[in-house]
Structure 1
Amino acid sequence: MIHLAEATALAVLLLFLGMLVCSEIGRRIARVRLARDPDGAKSGAGAVDTAVFGLLGLMIAFTFSGAASRFEARRHLVSDEANTIGTAYLRLDLLPSDAQPALRALFRRYVDARVATYRDVDDIDHARARLDAGVALQSAIWTQSVAACSRTGVESRACLLLLPALNDMIDITTTRATATQNHPPVVIFVLLGALCLLGALLVGYGTAIGRERSWLHTTTFAATLALSVFVIVDLEFPRLGLIRIDQADQVLIELGKTMR
């Protein structure tokens, strides 16, 4: 099975080669035009170049900024989840002492399940199974906590502190799951790729005035744009590509250690 990093690298390589081809096509079109009409070959080219490259720069800035902000948001959500779990775990002290050991054991299993959920997410079936296991543990923790709060003699203030904390702990799992699926529409990336190819075509057209091909400019242009697209896509999938947020999981791992 091809992983996302490999698929992205292949797509970017094809984009790089496509830009080289488009640049050569643009050069040949310009050479034919120059042979027929030397004075009119450059007529209006400046306005078109400005519009296309301006839009290309805007698209790269837009997609990169969005990918970077989503990357940071996903990383912060890991810390937020660790905080909500830690808060709920500490508030177990408010329950009767005989109800605490079973709940603390469930919490330890729950933290392990949450860490495992976002490991090796290339395997969708295993990732879903781990996610379902975490949901089952959530249900067990909630059920036992409500049962403990329903006992006679348990202060209502304890339940008013514990149950909202458990609710926050459960809600943030949905927030994290939604964040992993939050990406720009595919048409944005299609448009970005099309603008890269069009820009390469204009670069080839613009450098055709010289008899020798300017491989330095053409290759640098294609490589820079291809690398930019690669980074943007990699930031969009921080659990699957080369740029990862796995280190953020250390917060949950350390939290699990404090519960032992």
Structure 2
Amino acid sequence: MDHQGFLYGYSSVAIAASLLLGILLFNELGFRLGRYVQEKTDDELKALTGAIQGSVLGLLALLLGFTFSMSMQRYDNRSMALIDEANAVGTAVLRVQLLPQELQPQANDLFKHYLGLRVEVGTIGLNDTQTRARFNNETAQVQAQLWALAMKAAELDPRPVTSGAFITALNEVIDSQGKRNALLQMQVPEVVLLLLFVVFMSSGAIMGYSSGLSGKRMFVPVMLVSVLITLIVFIIIDLDRPKRGLIQVNQSALVELYEAVAATKDVR
């Protein structure tokens, strides 16, 4: 069963916009607090506040780099898993020609149906658990039919260079489908994102507090830094949202294979 965290139910654009408003709000609160204690704070404490501000911003940069690396790696893994699945299915489709002649039409029909299911399920969000469960069950049924056909082929022609080669390819198809499904569930832990958000807000507050102590508001630099950090956070969240964010894995490899298999079948 697909399980997503709390944040997955919200749009990445809405989360990024909320973060931007949040950091600006905390910056304003920090500025007003800094202005309030300005006269009670000596130069040494102001310098110490500047050092703490640099440390917090350094921690934020570290977390941004770490989290971006995690989300990018997961996106790359999902992309490679789709390509591996397309290659595995393509190889199995070619090896259908090694099966006994009477089994080839059925195998082609099953692979056409299988590819159609894999392409269509790729457009369904992970939060639509009922629809995805239905597609996964139907996919498992087609896999079972293909495996039964492979066993029948092995009885008719037990040679490893014919039926054996097809069985090996079919096994890779099943493994690649399971691997791709597993990678869809591997995302950046939500606690890491929440920690990033806390440090994000704290950075806005400490920048505002430091400005308040100096008595000078730095609106343009703070706004620029806030917008840039928000954009990076948006990319991190969007990369980590399979089937939901704006940045999606390109399914053209599977789609082109499906179209090629369908066209070949239509010609026959």
The normalised TM-score by structure 1 is 0.91
Hey, what's the Cα distance between the residues in 2 that align with 1:40 and 1:32? 17
CA distances 1:173-202 after superposition (whole Å, capped 9, x unpaired): 111011111012211011100000110011
Say whether the 8 Å CA contact 1:5–1:241 is kept in structure 2.
Answer: no
Moved over 6 A (4+): none
**Residue of structure 1 in register with 2:241 after alignment:** 237
1:200 aligns with 2:204: yes
**Residue of structure 2 in register with 1:33 after alignment:** 37
Q: Residues 156 and 76 from structure 1, CA distance in 2 versus in 1: closer, same or farther, beyond 3 angstroms?
A: closer
Cα RMSD of the aligned pairs, angstroms, is: 1.9
Letter in 2 for 1:249: Q
Say whether the 8 Å CA contact 2:35–2:215 is kept in structure 1.
Answer: no
Deviation at 1:212, TM superposition (A): 4.9
Hey, what's the Cα distance between the residues in 2 that align with 1:101 and 1:37? 84
Hey, what's the Cα distance between the residues in 2 that align with 1:18 and 1:4? 19
Hey, what's the Cα distance between the residues in 1 that align with 2:122 and 2:160? 36
Letter in 2 for 1:132: N
Q: What secondary structure sits across from 1:237 in the alignment?
A: coil
Say whether the 8 Å CA contact 1:27–1:205 is kept in structure 2.
Answer: yes
CA distances 1:93-133 after superposition (whole Å, capped 9, x unpaired): 11110111111110111010110111132533212211211
Hey, what's the Cα distance between the residues in 2 that align with 1:46 and 1:39? 11
User: 195-204 vs 14-23, which deviates more?
Assistant: 14-23
Say whether the 8 Å CA contact 2:50–2:210 is kept in structure 1.
Answer: no
**Residue of structure 1 in register with 2:48 after alignment:** 44
Hey, what's the Cα distance between the residues in 2 that align with 1:210 and 1:34? 7
Say whether the 8 Å CA contact 1:71–1:236 is kept in structure 2.
Answer: yes
Q: What secondary structure sits across from 1:72 in the alignment?
A: helix
**Residue of structure 2 in register with 1:73 after alignment:** 77
Hey, what's the Cα distance between the residues in 2 that align with 1:114 and 1:124? 16
Hey, what's the Cα distance between the residues in 2 that align with 1:225 and 1:37? 30
**Residue of structure 1 in register with 2:147 after alignment:** 142
Of 198, 207, 226, the residue aligned with 1:222 is 226
Hey, what's the Cα distance between the residues in 1 that align with 2:171 and 2:241? 28
Of 248, 251, 254, the residue aligned with 1:252 is 254
Q: Percent identity?
A: 29
**Residue of structure 1 in register with 2:188 after alignment:** 184
Hey, what's the Cα distance between the residues in 2 that align with 1:196 and 1:62? 14
CA distances 1:113-161 after superposition (whole Å, capped 9, x unpaired): 110111132533212211211111011001111111112x542432321
Hey, what's the Cα distance between the residues in 1 that align with 2:89 and 2:189? 33
Hey, what's the Cα distance between the residues in 2 that align with 1:131 and 1:116? 11
Hey, what's the Cα distance between the residues in 1 that align with 2:173 and 2:86? 9
The normalised TM-score by structure 2 is 0.88
In structure 2, the gaps of 5 or more residues are 1-6
Say whether the 8 Å CA contact 2:147–2:170 is kept in structure 1.
Answer: yes
Q: Residues 157 and 37 from structure 1, CA distance in 2 versus in 1: closer, same or farther, beyond 3 angstroms?
A: closer
Letter in 1 for 2:43: D
Equivalent pairs counted in the alignment come to 255
